[in-house]
Chains A and B, each alone.
Chain A
């Protein structure tokens, strides 16, 4: 049908479900204009502002002690949260996609919670839970466990915010694959662990990687939740996005944009990888059209 449409000259084809050419290009034009103003220009501005005073100023800005500490902390937080969320995500997706149990709908809604709750509130819940005024607060203090304004708090907040990415990629994928293969594996004498390792995992591995990419990008870029629990201690609990804020509020614009451009590059890299995955393994990611 598409080929047919392509060969008929538009003048003779008055399709009832297509707008006029002018309307179509008009809409496309508006959309492009809109996208360039709210999307592409900001992206370009990050780099142009960062390089405003030349490449040397850019490098110097990134080489500051506090910024380097922020880079290290951000990488560390991502290195801890992403593998954990990969495991949690697979477990939850497996539970939801392959089993029927009471409260399943509730659990499914709960997974989406971090997406619909404000990042600031995500941070706030940890303050209410672990803060010095909370029930747990005195106990934690007595045992010398630092959660808030320390690495642990940042990790917890990041885990919360990035939790849905892997699970939501995998749930539709695993639901679509059904339980037939696992039943066959088990009837052939495979243990539960073998079934997972040899039957389930190979079929979801690209979905997992896809979710991990998104999870990682978000983990490195999270601002709101981390901002609430981190305490903004320079060189200690400042992640890259928080470093951007601090530098910007000090009117150190070149440095702020240099750090922001670093984040943007990270974003673009994960984007490239994601697109490659989509291109190469679109079949295996077929059920993942829904975010």
Chain B
């Protein structure tokens, strides 16, 4: 409504920034989460149904979900504390020439942190419900484990994984601390809205917001189409 009163001018180029790291992040998480979820129920198989597996305990039960509850702002500043050059992890990465805090890489880390529980919570039930017979069939037909994973299991997880992606596009609280918020380099879309709002430029804020909304709706639509 408000945004229709202006052209494309006020929508800045760097609004697309927030989608960019999401791609790398979701790929990362996808790989690791396959590992995490897979180990989880396979190991439970081996150790007996009652025992919680090593990776299962942090993954499904406490760690990830507690992250949801940890306030965005608190998450943001604690990530900075760890990944600055003096922090416990940042100190290890600094000699390798990797800077995390105050770079776009920091945005990736923050989005992983905040998006992890969402992905686990949507992917985990899908993996748990998937029947071993499907994998057995794949094995019978001569597929290797890698092939089974890539071609049989992963496609069923696609909608759940995309859900996590949708959430990451609009993330704000955890990112603004670790990103340096340099225009055109590490400014995320949600922050642009806030900046416009602080200048009482409601039309521009709405313009950016409507594009983000369209993007979210498009992705939800794709998820629903895949599922049906």
Identify the A interface with B (CB < 8 A): 2-3, 5-6, 16-19, 23-24, 27-28, 30-32, 34-35, 37-43, 45-46, 49, 109, 112, 115-121, 124, 127-128, 131, 133, 217-218, 220-224, 227-228, 240-242, 244-245, 248, 256-257, 259-261, 263-264, 266-268, 270-271, 274-275, 289-291
Contacts and interface: CB of A to CB of B under 8 A. Distances in A.
Contacts of A27: 34-36, 38-39
Contact of B190 (A120, A217, A266): A120
Contacts of B212: 118, 121
A223 B2 contact: no
Q: How many residues of B sit at the interface, in one of the four size bands?
A: 35 or more
Contacts of A115: 167
Contacts of A289: 125, 128
Top-8 shortest CB links A-B: A118-B170, A16-B139, A260-B74, A267-B69, A221-B71, A223-B173, A27-B35, A31-B36
A266 B68 CA distance: 12
A224 B194 CA distance: 9
B153 to A, nearest CB: 10
28 contacts: A16-B135, A18-B42, A19-B38, A28-B43, A30-B35, A31-B55, A39-B58, A45-B82, A45-B87, A109-B220, A118-B170, A118-B212, A121-B190, A121-B213, A124-B206, A128-B202, A217-B69, A222-B71, A228-B193, A241-B73, A241-B173, A248-B177, A256-B77, A260-B77, A263-B74, A270-B69, A290-B122, A291-B122
Contacts of B64: 35, 39
A63 to B, nearest CB: 19
A133 B66 CA distance: 39
Contacts of A264: 70-71, 74
Contacts of A32: 54-55, 58
B interface: dominant SS: helix
Given A27-B38, A131-B202, A121 B197 contact: no
Interface string B68-107: 1111111101110110000111000000000000000000
A228 B202 CA distance: 12
A25 to B, nearest CB: 8
Given A2-B48, A221-B70, A227 B167 contact: no
B161 interface: no
B171 interface: yes
Nearest to A274: B65
B58 A35 contact: yes
Given A27-B38, A37-B89, A5 B46 contact: yes
Given A30-B35, A270-B69, A19 B58 contact: no
A49 B170 CA distance: 28
Contact of A16 (B39, B125, B140): B140
Interface string B182-201: 00000001100110010000
A119 B113 contact: no
Contact of B49 (A2, A128, A131): A2
Contact of B109 (A16, A38, A45, A220): A38
B145 interface: yes
Contacts of A221: 69-72, 74
Interface in B105-149: 109, 112-113, 116, 121-122, 125, 128, 132, 135-136, 139-140, 145, 148
B30 interface: no
Contacts of B140: 16
B78 A45 contact: yes
Given A31-B59, A271-B62, A42 B75 contact: yes
B166 interface: yes
B205 interface: yes
A263 B209 CA distance: 29
Contacts of B61: 275
Contacts of A119: 72, 170, 172-173, 190
Nearest to B32: A34
A127 B202 contact: yes
A39 B132 CA distance: 30
B32 A227 contact: no
A24 B67 CA distance: 26
